Amino acid sequence: MQREFNITGTCIPEKHYMVDISGKLKEIMVLIEKGNYFTINRPRQYGKTTTQFFLEKILEKREDYLIARISFEGVGDSVFANEEVFGKKVIEFIADRISAEEEIRNKLYESIHNISSINTLSKEITKFCESIKKKFVLLIDEVDKSSNNQLFLSFLGMLRNKYLLRNEGRDSTFHSVILAGVHDVKTLKLKLRPGEEQKYNSPWNIATDFKVDMSFNPQEISTMLVDYSKDKKIKMDITKIAERIYHYTSGYPFLVSKICKEIDENILPEKERTEWSVKEVERAVKTITLGEESNTNFDSIIKNIENDSALGDFVLNLLLGSTEYSFLYNVPLIYNAVTHGIIKNEKGKAKIHNKIYEEYLTNYFVIKLKTENKSIFSSFDVVQSSYIKPTGKLEIEKVLLKFQEVIKEKYSQSEALKSDEFLEKELRMRFFCFIQPIMNGIGFAFKEVETGEEKRIDVVIIFRDEKFVVELKLWRGMKYHRQGIKRLKDYMKKEGVKKGYMLIADKTRHKQFKVEKQEGLMMVWI
């Protein structure tokens, strides 16, 4: 069977090229061995289903364990009609998914007749767990689909109580319970009694924190590339390519596989190539970020932003570097953005999760603003060919000088250029709006946002095979300017470019609309 890179559903080794996740599985098995109850909550397409599949396979091979992996997804509302129906269905689901000897399954099927409530369900779980000489692990998938149902929450509350009693030696129950879904079930609320609107308690506050890093680091990405290169006889600098894929994706599993799939299925076949390079990675990134084809991952992010204006404003501020946010997981806005995979924790600060999301979301906001504010951006109608040399290369200096000219014509007499808010947010968005039609279809840009004293953004533009580094910054005085030049030169060295550019917003107007050049640098004041 010819294998492929998989971006939907469970990864199967016989069918798909996949990252070696054995290290992550060992970490999860430690939690199970300890008898912990926990939640595997990660954004969509983050490897949850594949992880559960392999956990199930590991536990099925262990003689001292019994595993049942169930889900309430797609079962309909009738399951939640009342406690008796729900309790019977829970046992039926568990029995159907146990791949042990028939005698064990029959014990569960027989117990169904004794269930008439959540309380009797609890008693039957106790009797069953006492009757077997195995550690029983219950894994419930897609808990988000049921978490708004009071019966399901009562079921979780019952499992919580049994866990507490077990630890006191007063009950028998599942050795470990694992809930899998997008949301952290510990944040759910359960009404203690009907009519008590103000008294709430989490049904899953006994859960151990799940700290397993399910993103892929460069070494893990390399394991998939090694397998692929041997199988397909493809030459590549595996370490270099794995690091570049990580550079763009921050290890988001869907995006890692998406880049590889794009190269394997669409880029390599064009000229029957037998070698991968960093250029192929960057071409795949360009195709993905430009949204040349729809995918459910991006669609989900945009849907969540469209449905939550506060989330949209938050994401835009992060993209523009106009506001710095501490990463406080319990803050609803931060939690929401983490849940949907949009941001990550980077040294205690909230950051857009990866460079692909940065570019895609910037393009989304640019198009949205242009569509909704046509008059504001009318002077930004640029012709792509005007900034491309006959050789096909980008004339970046011409781009920056034209942007300076547009700002001068439109705002030189305006008080806007004296406003921090305009300089830190609006002007940056106008720059991205300006370059977007120039980049369209040929190039793309990603950003290194640095807030703090200098409020700067490093923009790396990749146009065909050429790379440009443009620093957008606020003028904060000569001291910070010299520091900024040094940092830019260091960043240029890191990115392997010999020329760098600064676009400097200055409300003091000490160098009004000037252009300065020094060795390897061009500085444009606006």
* Residue-level pLDDT at 351: 94
pLDDT at 193: 47
Q: At residue 512, does pLDDT exceed 90? A: no
Beta bridge partners of 522: 501, 517
User: Is residue 160 exposed (0-12), middle (13-18) or buried (19+ Cβ within 10 Å)?
Assistant: buried
Task: Using a pLDDT cut of 70, give the percent of the chain over it.
Answer: 92
Least confident of 148-152, 159-163, 231-235, 470-474: 148-152
Is the pLDDT at 81 greater than 80, yes or no? Answer: yes
Does position 450 have pLDDT exceeding 70, yes or no? Answer: no
pLDDT (average), residues 60-89: 92
Q: How far is CA 364 from CA 45, 358, 359, 480, in A?
A: 21, 10, 9, 32
The ranges assigned to domains in the chain are 20-201, 218-289, 296-371, 373-526
Give the CA radius of gyration of the chain: 28
Report pLDDT for 214: 97
CA–CA separation, 230 vs 246, rounded Å? 21
**pLDDT tens sequence across 16-57:** 999 999 999 999 999 999 999 999 999 999 999 999 999 999
pLDDT per residue over 256-305, tens digit each?
999 999 999 999 887 677 899 999 999 999 899 876 677 899 999 999 99
Give the chain's mean pLDDT.
88
pLDDT attached to residue 23:
97
Degrees, nearest 5: CA angle 453-457-459: 160
Indicate if 218-289 has the same CATH topology as 20-201. no
Percent with pLDDT over 90 in the chain? 59
Q: Hunting for tokens 């195995």 — which residue is that?
A: 134
Predicted confidence band at 190 (pLDDT cuts at 50, 70, 90)? very low
The residue with greater pLDDT, 5 or 195, is 5
Which residue has better confidence, 464 or 418? Answer: 464
Mean pLDDT of 186-201: 51
Fold for domain 296-371? Arc Repressor Mutant, subunit A (1.10.10)
- Looking up tokens 């997008």, which residue turns up? 182
pLDDT of 520 > 80? The answer is yes
- Which CATH number applies to 20-201: 2.30.30, 2.60.40, 1.10.150, 3.40.50? 3.40.50
Q: Which CATH fold would you assign to the domain 218-289?
A: Helicase, Ruva Protein; domain 3 (1.10.8)
Is 495's pLDDT higher than 50? yes
Give the containing element (helix H, strand E) for 410.
helix 396-411
What is the mean predicted confidence (pLDDT) over 439-457?
Answer: 72
pLDDT tens-digit readout, 211-242: 999 999 999 999 999 999 999 999 999 999 99
The tens digit of pLDDT for each residue in 346-404 reads 999 999 999 999 989 988 998 888 787 655 555 566 777 889 999 999 999 999 999 99
